[in-house]
Structure 1
Amino acid sequence: MDNGGPGELLQILRDGQPRTRADLAGTTGLGRAAVSSRLEPLLKLELVIPVSGAPSTGGRPSARLAFNPGAKLVAAADVGATHATVALTDLSGAVLVETTERMEISCGPETVLDWLLTMVNGHLKVLERPTADVIAVGIGLPGPVEHSTGKPTSPPIMPGWDGFDVPAYIQQTLGVPVLVDNDVNLMALGERATRWPNEENMIFLKVATGIGSGVVSGGELQRGAAGVAGDVGHIAVSRGAGILCRCGKSACLEAIAGAPAIAAQLRENGLGATNGSDVVSLVRSGNPAAIQAVRQAGRDIGEMLNMCVSFINPSLIVVGGSLAQSGEHLMAGIRETVYARSTPLATQHLNITQSATGPEAGVVGASILAVEHVLSPHRVNQLATRLLSGGKENINRQEEPAPPTPWPLLEAMAKQLQDAPT
């Protein structure tokens, strides 16, 4: 691989540490002139900007360069079964503005995605930024997603979504790359990036209306052959025998340990619980029945996780989602079963903890997914080649084969720079 292409130089600078051209030459093995030529398109696109000079060694201080995460924006959405969060982030994944509202995924793709686009437009007005500043969109959905196409695949709780072309629908309005994945996969990415960047083997478990997991093994997110890796909510557990799940099968973990199941159990005991928020409120108020129900749900979840621990051998399990907000009662039930049933070798270094990123894990992960796509070395190198070619016809992507995921706004930026007077 060319270690000194514009895309590779950008990857070096994305750690946020300012560097001089001499620093970059030393890292890449390129000459100073070669480094400067490769930095030219990055500076023109303002993906890299000059910062305060390096300490002087006797002559004129050398100019330092740094990644500019504020150059453009990414729209990130974490859509759950009953709630959705939409945010705008910078190119480092930092959330600049966000909104969370109740939104039923069962309303259908057009309704949900139109709401998402409305939120993006509103956030742009808040930040006083133009639509053209959005260069990518990342979306998490509460069901299996074919990652290569962004289409949901037979999602059990998403009527009308099966096979729906989510990227194409969003691109009609924004015209940028749209990356779609299962919401828990994105939570795993967000949690790992913000809290556990060096963790190579982890499971992120979301416990809310549904139960699902994102699996990181060998430092890579595992999606499986059809995008359903980590769909643990529909693993059969012993206490669920004979209980029908909304997926149509029986004995599923979700049918006894998901928020609706716990709320239904509490209503049978005369408590006014209709959703996960009510369950959490009852637990926090010290209600014995709610505490017992949540702890038992933790034990049931632990039965499932015991199988995962034996199969995947993670060193970290992070528990998030709305029911995780009930705190140590859920965690205690999970730990009780996992540590009791798993082998000592598998658990001697296993850390089971509550999410530190909290509700923002999903949107941070969605942003990271989108940013890694549009700022990949290959794509940045393509853009730099077009920008430096000097021929407008080379910028017009309609005269070239369309890439798998288009990014016309970045190309438009390059065209504007070429057309600008010098």
Structure 2
Amino acid sequence: MTGNQSSAGHLLRLIRSGEATTRGELQRVTGLSRSTVGHRLDRLFRAGWIREGATVPAGSPAGGRPAGLLEFDGTHAAVLAVDLETRYARAAVLDLAGTVLAEDTGPLAVEDGPEEVIGRLVRRFPPLLERARVAPGDVCGIGLSVPGPVDWESGRVVQPPILPGWDGYPIPERMRQAYREHVLGDADARGTGAGDGEGPVVLVENDANLMAYAEQRTGYPDCAAFLLVKVSTGIGAGLVVDGRMYRGIDGGAGDIGHIRLHDRPDALCMCGSYGCLAAVASGRALAGQLTAAGVPAASGTEVRDLLAAGRPDAVRLAREAGRRVGEVLVTVVTVVNPGVLMIAGDLAGAPFVTGVRELLYQRAMPRSTAHLTVVTSRLGDRAGLVGAAAMVVEHLYEPARADARLAAMGL
């Protein structure tokens, strides 16, 4: 191997993936000499990114002499993750292995606009970091999950139906600036986390994408095509193919909530169109239908509470909503051919999932569903947080970027 494929960043990737976890294995996989491997590992050790763990016994497949296992040190920095919903937000501090160190959930209305929301989010960070015992300068990145389509390159939401005032807003730049001003203050931003003196990197991604990413990585790592459908205030889907989020060409992949239903031209959607799936089968839509039937509900969360209480009207409407979503998923499953279809969000209970299954298995070709498993979320409310943190870690420790960061640290 040559070039970047034998760099310190590449060795780190091999260690993190488990493909090579001893010096001998790294030599065999890369073809590098013992001294070169040692030099590059020394850079990773000095950065605090790896550590030597348990010892492989002599005579094992790892080598004839005892060898120390190399592992990524997930405690050398931390990540802030935010899962922004329409009426509230979850925020958490996680280590680089995805362990939640501190968590907070509180009301926050996205309709107040990005400037107000970002300001209030950032004010939550200092007490959260204090509870997690993490210094502000040791935060390497902030991951933000938002309920709308995101252009990955810029980190800006694009024409989001349920995020008024957010279209094209420079979220990463504004949040990084707010973190420097209100969290770092006079503290040194060049701790074990940021490394560039400018504060942590900020990455923004669609909520369904991040939930799918987290659920696939933690529960279904061998599934090559994983589809998650989130049904809460709106409806969206996240697709993970070969371990990577599939975003489409500009972040619009998975926006199934705005597929038009042929028989509901009367249903006005928040996007301004009529007949969208979200206008008929989302948590917001069911809340409106229940309210009209004399069962007050203002959001998908309140519909979830009514379902948990076993209210007959809520159960009936949730099952019918599942059938409507199932109609659309027949086409999606036929095109994508996933191994796992996961239903998540406020409506992801038995009535809704039953409705999805009924339509999906009734109308899809047997070939499309023969190896399909339909499940509900394993991570629950934490899926967005776990996905946001994992996105930041994968971004920062990707081989080329890891090498650039090591160079910036003078290593």
2-structure distance, mates of 1:19, 1:231: 40
Matched residue, 1:335: 357
Matched residue, 1:393: none
Contact 2:55 2:69 in 1 (8 A): yes
2:22 alignment partner, one of 20, 23, 28: 20
Shift of 1:147: 0.6
Q: TM-score w.r.t. structure 2 length? A: 0.89
Indicate yes or no: 2:257 matched with 1:233: yes
2-structure distance, mates of 1:287, 1:64: 55
Matched residue, 1:141: 146
Shift of 1:160: 1.5
Shift of 1:296: 0.4
1:351 alignment partner, one of 373, 377, 397: 373
Indicate yes or no: 2:238 matched with 1:214: yes
Secondary structure of the residue aligned to 1:14 is helix
Shift of 1:287: 2.0
Contact 1:273 1:279 in 2 (8 A): yes
Matched residue, 1:290: 314
Matched residue, 1:176: 200
Contact 1:239 1:300 in 2 (8 A): no
Matched residue, 2:210: 186
Which residue identity does 2:273 align to in structure 1? K
Shift of 1:221: 1.9
1:243 alignment partner, one of 246, 263, 267: 267
Shift of 1:60: 8.1
The change in CA–CA distance for 1:377 and 1:343 in structure 2 (over 3 A counts) is same
Q: TM-score w.r.t. structure 1 length? A: 0.87
Matched residue, 2:394: 372
2-structure distance, mates of 1:292, 1:74: 41
2-structure distance, mates of 1:82, 1:231: 20
Shift of 1:239: 4.6
Secondary structure of the residue aligned to 1:113 is helix
Contact 1:4 1:38 in 2 (8 A): no
Matched residue, 2:385: 363
The change in CA–CA distance for 1:345 and 1:46 in structure 2 (over 3 A counts) is same
Matched residue, 2:51: 49
2-structure distance, mates of 1:215, 1:241: 28
Q: Which runs of 5+ in 2 are unaligned?
A: 181-198
Shift of 1:59: 10
Contact 1:81 1:210 in 2 (8 A): no
Which residue identity does 2:167 align to in structure 1? D
The change in CA–CA distance for 1:352 and 1:56 in structure 2 (over 3 A counts) is closer
Shift of 1:16: 6.2
2-structure distance, mates of 1:265, 1:109: 30
2-structure distance, mates of 1:234, 1:207: 13
Q: Which runs of 5+ in 1 are unaligned?
A: 387-410
Which residue identity does 1:280 align to in structure 2? R
Bigger shift: 354-363 or 19-28? 19-28
Indicate yes or no: 2:204 matched with 1:199: no
Contact 1:143 1:158 in 2 (8 A): yes
Shift of 1:61: 4.5
Shift of 1:219: 4.2
Shift of 1:17: 8.7
How is 1:61-76 mapped onto 2 (pairs within 5 angstroms)? Answer: 61-76=66-81
Over residues 91-136 of structure 1, what are the superposed CA-to-partner deviations in whole Å (9 max), with x where a residue is unaligned?
Answer: 1222222212221111111121122222222221112221111011
How is 1:117-136 mapped onto 2 (pairs within 5 angstroms)? Answer: 117-136=122-141
Bigger shift: 281-290 or 122-131? 281-290
2-structure distance, mates of 1:377, 1:59: 30
Which residue identity does 1:162 align to in structure 2? D
Secondary structure of the residue aligned to 1:249 is coil
- Name the count of aligned residue pairs: 387
Matched residue, 2:193: none
2-structure distance, mates of 1:290, 1:59: 65
Contact 2:87 2:110 in 1 (8 A): yes
Indicate yes or no: 2:298 matched with 1:302: no
2-structure distance, mates of 1:218, 1:13: 19
Shift of 1:225: 2.1
Over residues 334-393 of structure 1, what are the superposed CA-to-partner deviations in whole Å (9 max), with x where a residue is unaligned?
Answer: 000111111111111111111111111111111111111110100112233x2xxxxxxx
2-structure distance, mates of 1:181, 1:287: 35
1-structure distance, mates of 2:168, 2:64: 63
Bigger shift: 34-43 or 75-84? 75-84
Which residue identity does 2:225 align to in structure 1? N
2-structure distance, mates of 1:129, 1:93: 15
Secondary structure of the residue aligned to 2:347 is helix
2:84 alignment partner, one of 73, 79, 82: 79
1:37 alignment partner, one of 36, 39, 63: 39
Matched residue, 2:296: 272
Indicate yes or no: 2:96 matched with 1:91: yes
